[in-house]
Structure 1
């Protein structure tokens, strides 16, 4: 069953998959910020099965940014694990299990990374809700500008003849903090927004949403998941997990981080009970140690934006998002962005460029047709052409010859078409050059990797030779020390021997002197006797 309704530019889609006769299925409801999907899942279905089903249904290919959020039977908000069965993840026993399909990881640069229109639209709705609910701080000036882009995305071009004062009164466009900051009436706010809104004429919905995201991504709190933590001194802080790395914030300042670790600077993240350790790549740098405020918070995130409603008290709801899962996912995307695009991403980008080119051509032909119709005799007496929305139905009511003449004029004499054709040729040439440069870069990368391996091997051999030289030097130094000790010992023994010789000489001289004296005495005695 497929049904749809439209109200105020919002599209609601309901899709139901019939229950199998076996009865081995259960109903689930998946809500995006502008659609509601209903499925019957088999009992053995995994989170991946449900996630892929949702992505196929809405035509999403950039799946790596998103996840399914739900409220479990205990009232906690969790991210559905894709590798586990849905029924094994503590889902609530409601008649229909509700899930929210939300962006889990944020891009670094929305203009460069978001390819599909559906991806861009989902992020636009989510970021807009976060700003309006004040989960993301937005200054007043930026809030008014963002509101004007939101109006352009919803209503299209500003038309003074159809615009009525108070038309925007029913739209939620500004954060309540901004409204309370100034003493301005709703009419005054609407006038401020209308001034910017009028400047966006000619901008499509996708272009307006992209401009909205370009401004929003520069806000300080954009894409940051905050965790309450304590450091070793028991000071209360916030840990922020972002697309670029980890930030440490003071308790009263979530805008400016006091310490930042990019993913390229982090070697390892580990935890033990309440204790988390961030180990930098530089081994000389000290580790950063912090403690979560609750034991359960080690694997679970708090203070994340909650898109699901709950009957529990606000203080009783603990948002359960794995810190390690967020870190791993953001780190993987961080490294992925710094590598050449995969074939899938290249194909998506090429298709997106082709679709934008077709849209630009269609708009150009519509405008040319509008000008041609207003001056053609077949068109006399018909209503004027004010916008491109009314052109194609009017063209279909005219003679085929007129349509052929319009197309012929647009293709042969219109300078816009010539410029578009040249632009398309330039884009093709640019794509060909980019492909050549990418292939050359890949070849150079492979050659550099080979040289790097050779250099690493040479460094290893040099280190081994240096190690052997150091060992030889140490051995020679040890031998030299032993030789010096032996020389000192021999010198000491020689000194002792010399002293002994001197003593013996003195003793011999003394004995000789005594002996000579004795001889003299004997000789003298003999002489006297004779």
Structure 2
């Protein structure tokens, strides 16, 4: 591949720029354009205003990654051409903030940071322990897919680094089950909030925001120089977690290089000298150190007018987004309530349909009964005719009986005569009968008197009728009530003019962040204990063992750094890497 030369013939170049989520094709680019102009063109194309965190990267002919120099023409830089004659540049994060939540303002800035950090973890360029990987994966799927959905198929290769998958005797289903469990806890977070939570966890990783360069000390020991937002550290061998030693930006006075030799002077006039593999690497190191130190000083100064305006706009945008999210949640709840009401009405409709079918069946049975009754009425009418005929016959029989009665009267008169004759005989019999009746009455009275001496026994029978009353219930559904919180009218008026109130708000957010951090550490500890029994010791890397030693010793990323001017809960303590004077640490470096 040929290097770029002069463009005196008036030709233009085609430049391809790859960001973390898009590809830009810039045609008709003047080869004599300055690096700053090309960078600004890309930033305008993607709508980025926080340009101080980013840069354009390319790989030179020695296969060394280099950053595009802003104050130098593009055709004067060693950018190789592609096979089609175009230039290919990568738009990446070049400088990292100390606190992502406080310093990142724009949504697109946060999104680009999220994509690059996520890709660095998956590529295993940024070491991430297993428990943190699972937690970060849960925030990643929340940012990508929203609230937990059982129908979403998770691709573990795009969520967890391969080294984590290899180190544990766990099936893909077991990993997915743990990610979904943590994903459920993130329900309700918007995409922006989930990405910010991801970055807040990622910034506490030991290798976050550190760019490493291979160097050698005076003893020709292979070392790595790490440049970060907190300072410069020296790393030995495969250990890129523990700096030996570390120098904060407040301790560094001057940085310079000549050819491959690089010098760092401290405030106590001590100097550390090392050699890089190539002079172009020294340029990159110096560029990173200057830019990172400038941001270090900028954070400790009042915000510029542009930054204040951006923060106000971002705050208004967050407020608008929160209002939209609240409105969306209310509409979501209202829709859920409507769906529940629909289901209830559907159930009631089914019940009414069943009742209608029962009524129709009852009506059908009633019609059948009416037909039977009509048939019975017809039969009854026929029976009435038969009975009428029988009544006529009975009347004729009555006439016959009357005639027979007259004859019987005549027989009666004959019998009366005979009766008078018998009265005399009857009178004598009556007298005899009365005498015997008196004797019988006396005997009966004696029997009754004897019977009264016995005690009668009564057996009463009580009957009780219990009525059961059936009462029907009435269902009253809960009426959905909605409460709309009116926006704070002072939100738009607070134009960040009161510095003291802004500091108080930052302190409040920092206190909340510390509480969340403690809760996060508890979550990570629980997850670590859960999967620790499944760890395969033979598959652990050197970084895993170093990280485990730090965890057992109660150390974290910030325990190896000394930042007396940073303040906050992340005030670093002294240990082997940062203890003592700068001169003592330089001696430690030279002795590696």
Sort the TM-score into its range (normalised by shorter chain). 0.5 to 0.7
1:169-218 per-position Cα deviation (integer Å, ceiling 9, x unaligned): 36511111111110111111111111111111111111111111111111
Matched with 2:66 is 78
Is residue 216 of structure 1 aligned with residue 202 of structure 2?
yes
Is residue 260 of structure 1 aligned with residue 246 of structure 2?
yes
- Taking structure 1 as the reference length, the TM-score comes to 0.62
CA contact (8 A) 1:108 1:243 kept: yes
1:124-147 per-position Cα deviation (integer Å, ceiling 9, x unaligned): 111111111111111110010011
Is residue 103 of structure 1 aligned with residue 93 of structure 2?
yes
Q: CA deviation at 1:434?
A: 3.2
Q: CA deviation at 1:287?
A: 2.1
Matched with 2:172 is 186
2-side partners of 1:266 and 1:63: how far apart?
25
Matched with 1:434 is 498
Q: Is the alpha carbon distance of 1:368 and 1:229 closer, same or farther for their aligned partners in structure 2, counting shifts above 3 Å?
A: closer
Matched with 2:57 is 69
CA contact (8 A) 1:28 1:39 kept: yes
CA contact (8 A) 2:81 2:88 kept: no
Secondary structure in 2 aligned to 1:64?
A: helix
CA contact (8 A) 1:374 1:380 kept: no
Q: Is the alpha carbon distance of 1:382 and 1:38 closer, same or farther for their aligned partners in structure 2, counting shifts above 3 Å?
A: farther
Matched with 1:304 is none
Q: CA deviation at 1:380?
A: 6.5
Equivalence map 1:289-438=2 (5 Å): 289-292=273-276, 294=277, 296-297=278-279, 299-300=280-281, 322-372=284-334, 414-415=482-483, 417-418=484-485, 421=487, 424=488, 434-435=498-499
CA contact (8 A) 1:143 1:174 kept: yes
Secondary structure in 1 aligned to 2:498?
A: helix
For structure 2, the residue ranges without an aligned partner over 5 or more in a row are 1-8, 347-479, 504-592
What is the RMSD computed on CA atoms of the aligned residues? 3.0
Q: CA deviation at 1:367?
A: 3.1
1:108-127 per-position Cα deviation (integer Å, ceiling 9, x unaligned): 11001111011111111111
1-side partners of 2:158 and 2:213: how far apart?
29
Q: Is the alpha carbon distance of 1:232 and 1:88 closer, same or farther for their aligned partners in structure 2, counting shifts above 3 Å?
A: closer
Equivalence map 1:87-126=2 (5 Å): 87-94=75-82, 95=84, 96-126=86-116
Q: 1:288 aligns with which of 264, 269, 272?
A: 272
CA contact (8 A) 1:263 1:331 kept: yes
1-side partners of 2:250 and 2:49: how far apart?
27
1:492-518 per-position Cα deviation (integer Å, ceiling 9, x unaligned): xxxxxxxxxxxxxxxxxxxxxxxxxxx
For structure 1, the residue ranges without an aligned partner over 5 or more in a row are 1-21, 302-320, 385-409, 440-530
2-side partners of 1:181 and 1:372: how far apart?
46
Equivalence map 1:183-262=2 (5 Å): 183-262=169-248
Q: 2:263 aligns with which of 277, 285, 292?
A: 277
Matched with 2:513 is none
1-side partners of 2:63 and 2:273: how far apart?
31
Q: How many residue pairs were aligned? A: 359
Greater Cα shift, 228-237 or 429-438? 429-438
Is residue 53 of structure 1 aligned with residue 44 of structure 2?
no
2-side partners of 1:170 and 1:216: how far apart?
18
CA contact (8 A) 1:73 1:93 kept: no
2-side partners of 1:330 and 1:366: how far apart?
41
Q: CA deviation at 1:346?
A: 0.9
- Where relative contact order (Cα < 8 A, 6+ residues apart) is larger, the structure is 2
Q: Is the alpha carbon distance of 1:133 and 1:88 closer, same or farther for their aligned partners in structure 2, counting shifts above 3 Å?
A: same
Q: 1:25 aligns with which of 12, 21, 26?
A: 12
Greater Cα shift, 22-31 or 185-194? 22-31
CA contact (8 A) 2:312 2:496 kept: no
Matched with 2:135 is 145
Q: Is the alpha carbon distance of 1:158 and 1:375 closer, same or farther for their aligned partners in structure 2, counting shifts above 3 Å?
A: closer
Q: CA deviation at 1:431?
A: 6.0
CA contact (8 A) 1:149 1:212 kept: yes
CA contact (8 A) 1:62 1:116 kept: yes
2-side partners of 1:74 and 1:260: how far apart?
30
1:201-248 per-position Cα deviation (integer Å, ceiling 9, x unaligned): 111111111111111111111111112222233333221111111111
1:456-502 per-position Cα deviation (integer Å, ceiling 9, x unaligned): xxxxxxxxxxxxxxxxxxxxxxxxxxxxxxxxxxxxxxxxxxxxxxx
1:60-110 per-position Cα deviation (integer Å, ceiling 9, x unaligned): 000001111123455443211122222221322332211110001111110
1:385-405 per-position Cα deviation (integer Å, ceiling 9, x unaligned): xxxxxxxxxxxxxxxxxxxxx
Secondary structure in 2 aligned to 1:127?
A: helix
Select the structure that is richer in strand.
1
2-side partners of 1:383 and 1:290: how far apart?
79
CA contact (8 A) 1:236 1:251 kept: yes
